[in-house]
Structure 1
């Protein structure tokens, strides 16, 4: 009996050669697949362990870098705080020195401001007295612009002597009044000059023509500056009232203290 006949006799009860071969192939395939899967799993496990190791190293490196950065920030922060303390100490010392100086300077400037406003009050009283003393003239000579222009001139002169000691509001009104009135005064001088040139030696009408030409321009003064003139005196009263309040408060404080 040949070997092939022997296999046929043995395998015949199990369904024939093809069935057995198929079973063996399936079994071998399962073994091979299992080995491949186990191999892949082992490889993946090794790769995972490698990644874990690499990540652990990176994490440790980042942790050390972060700790180093934190330490640097702490050192820098402590250094900055120390600098701030030093600067603050310097500023406090400067402030103490400046305060001691500024108190004396403030007292000096306040005294000068009082003197300035005293002179402005005296000017106001002078103008008020002049209006009262010349009430009859103003009643019948209301067309004469010179009294009002003289008052404006006096205010301009007084307010320009020391504008730094005035309140901002009064200084602004003084500047506006001076600028507007200066244009009127300038136009009046120019008109008088042209009138004088047009006379051509006529001495008998010289004075009247020049004065009339000048007055015609000066009559614009009240229209241009009347409102500012009134606002100036109103602001003067407000400023003087504030100074009085400061003096009253100071007097009360010193009275309680001493």
Structure 2
């Protein structure tokens, strides 16, 4: 579903990604862990072309892009590539002037994929899926952070992406609200949604991931099944990291 080869990203002279290789099959859940500043979020943003890689190759489904000296991604290529991915951010980024339903229906309606009636019907189905049917007419300012993040997930799903990307989706939430968002993500995983999740929630990685990716200093340090990476880490760096985050 996703193949990444030799992915590099520089901001000026700062090399944030240093040759990342990564692969995930359809229906897999890859959880990306690692210390702050190791390149996790930049990697995710490159997958969605919110950042253009400096070098390397990204393939999602049947679409492949090469990056390197002088490579320019056209607006059409960017739009086509992004149409295959839905992204959920740390902060919910809901439109404050729209109702919950309007937020979810905005993507397929505004880009012309669905008329207003069909977009609203899809939004209602997705709100039911994330347990928020009763909040459809409320404004984002009237719901909790956990509910807002579930709306953000529904909004990303409204475009029917092939891959869902999550960038620390629970990090901005109060601890008691984390579980309701993780529960929705677990259901998506059980339904066979292909997911790449950057998170510090080790229990989610252990319970839901088919693959755990440890990043450090812009590289993939270790990658494998959760029991291998989390329970039998081979590198001292990962052992040190886990000793600080697993209680």
Q: Same fold (TM over 0.5)?
A: no
TM-score (norm. length: structure 1): 0.19
Higher strand share: 2
TM-score (norm. length: structure 2): 0.19
Higher relative CO (CA 8 A, sep ≥ 6), structure 1 or 2?
Answer: 2
Look at both structures and tell me which one has the larger radius of gyration over its CA atoms.
Answer: 1
Higher helix share: 1
